[in-house]
Amino acid sequence: MAVNPDLRAREQRLAADLDLARTGPGTLAGRFMRQFWLPVFRAEDLPKGHAKPIRIMSEDYTLYRGESGAAQIIDQRCPHRGALMHLGWVEGDDIRCVYHGWKFDRTGQCLEQPAEEPGYARKIRTGVYPTREHLGLVYAYFGAGAPPPFPPYPAPLADGLIENPAPPVISCNYLQCLENSLDEVHVSFVHRTGGSHQGMYDLPAIGAEETEWGVLRTGERQGEMRLSLHYMPGCTRVVVPPMKGFDGVGGWKELYLNFVPIDDESCQWFIIYHVRVTGRDAEIYLAKREDYAKKLAAAGPAPDLAREVIAGRLPFAAIDHPDLVRVQDVAVQAGQGAIADRAAEHLGRSDRAIILWRRILAREMTALAEGRPPKTWTPAPASVVPTLGF
């Protein structure tokens, strides 16, 4: 691709100053992120008739599921006197505020104000945001204008089970978690204890290229090639070993790991696993998963244990947990600080994919800053899939 050298130089100068990590409203990174569908909730945690408060990219909203089954997102607060809308009642696909009974429909129009003059309601609106569901997650679009195509990325091609573990809240900026997923070398060290990634201890040479949908990353080991996909703006699709507590049952799984900012200093991981089991194998797997869930409940949340490791109260090598890999990852990534100090880094060849990702972010943010049209991303073809490579 021919690149205008002036533009490249300007991007490089700007990249040093650009804040890639902060995604609040009005920030360049926030404007970039708001061009995409983002996962916001695990679908099974939102029964019909329930409303929940959510915080995404430093903004608060109310998520509810109407009685038709459709998930809806509206503003956090009632426009009357600021009551929290999630305390209210879901009525059909509408929601009624707990404070004075103002009722809003799914377009945000106020329909009823029981104690007010007739005619006032039609002047009142609340914000609404498009939502969709895919692979067990609720997605929302927070940008201006019409949302991009849905689904944002293809479903797995092979037979098997889809599962969504409870989405953990991680106490650091989303971008360092996403960058970790671009960094295959870490597994040989971070995940050495416990032996989960035994097949991958020899170090790969990392390659990465930009595509129409994100970044395709390669890890080459003695002629074998591991392929991982990074969908814009924050979903990594990769083949991973089973969690320790599964004792190998179900084998390596395909993982879609979505990194979504709650605010600048915390993020949530929305996880989709595709497990290639059917028939009798699926039954064995599901029984094992029940057993695993019990172990997990008894062990406590992985981020809590990671906090103990970060604080130095528990040695890294001494962690024992059914979700060992998760504890190891969180300890390392949240351990970089709430927002990693990228100015103090010394990057090397193994960071090639991270460098490419940052360059894309800087280029796109520069385009937004200068009022030029950003790149039009298109959903990936279903035929491009991650591979294990050994």
221 binds another protein (CB under 8 A): no
Question: Rounded to whole angstroms, how far apart are CA atoms 246 and 372?
Answer: 49
Q: Which stretch binds another protein (CB under 8 A): 115-123, 193-201, 259-267, 268-276?
A: 115-123
Q: Which is nearer to another protein, 18 or 78 (CB)?
A: 78
97 binds another protein (CB under 8 A): yes
Question: Rounded to whole angstroms, how far apart are CA atoms 262 and 33?
Answer: 12
Question: Rounded to whole angstroms, how far apart are CA atoms 55 and 257?
Answer: 19
Question: Rounded to whole angstroms, how far apart are CA atoms 283 and 81?
Answer: 52
Buried-state track 317-356, b at ≥16 Cβ within 10 A, e below 16: eebebbbbbbbbbbbbbbbbeebbebeeeeeeebbbbbbb
Question: Rounded to whole angstroms, how far apart are CA atoms 234 and 269?
Answer: 10
77 binds another protein (CB under 8 A): yes
Please state whether the peptide bond connecting residue 233 to the residue before it is cis, i.e. omega within 30 degrees of 0.
yes
Q: Which is nearer to another protein, 98 or 384 (CB)?
A: 98
Quick note: the x/- pattern for another protein over 19-58, rule CB under 8 A, is -------------------------------xxxx-----
122 binds another protein (CB under 8 A): no
100 binds another protein (CB under 8 A): yes
88 binds another protein (CB under 8 A): yes
Q: Which is nearer to another protein, 100 or 192 (CB)?
A: 100
Question: How many chain residues bind another protein (CB under 8 A)?
Answer: 28
Report in angstroms how near the CB of residue 79 gets to another protein at its nearest. 5
124 binds another protein (CB under 8 A): yes
Q: Which of 86, 134, 274, 326 binds another protein (CB under 8 A)?
A: 86
Residues 6+ apart with CB under 8 A from 43: 71, 133, 136, 137, 138, 164
Q: Which is nearer to another protein, 125 or 132 (CB)?
A: 125
81 binds another protein (CB under 8 A): yes
95 binds another protein (CB under 8 A): no
98 binds another protein (CB under 8 A): yes
Report in angstroms how near the CB of residue 118 gets to another protein at its nearest. 11
Q: Which is nearer to another protein, 89 or 252 (CB)?
A: 89
The sheet that has 131-134: what strands, in order across it? 37-42, 137-141, 131-134
Q: Which of 26, 82, 118, 373 binds another protein (CB under 8 A)?
A: 82
**Closest C-alpha among 178, 195, 242 to residue 388:** 242
Question: Are the CB atoms for 182 and 174 separated by under 8 Å?
Answer: no
Report in angstroms how near the CB of residue 126 gets to another protein at its nearest. 10
117 binds another protein (CB under 8 A): yes
Q: Which is nearer to another protein, 25 or 315 (CB)?
A: 25
* Chain residues in the site for another protein (CB under 8 A): 50-53, 77, 79-84, 86-89, 96-101, 113-117, 120, 124
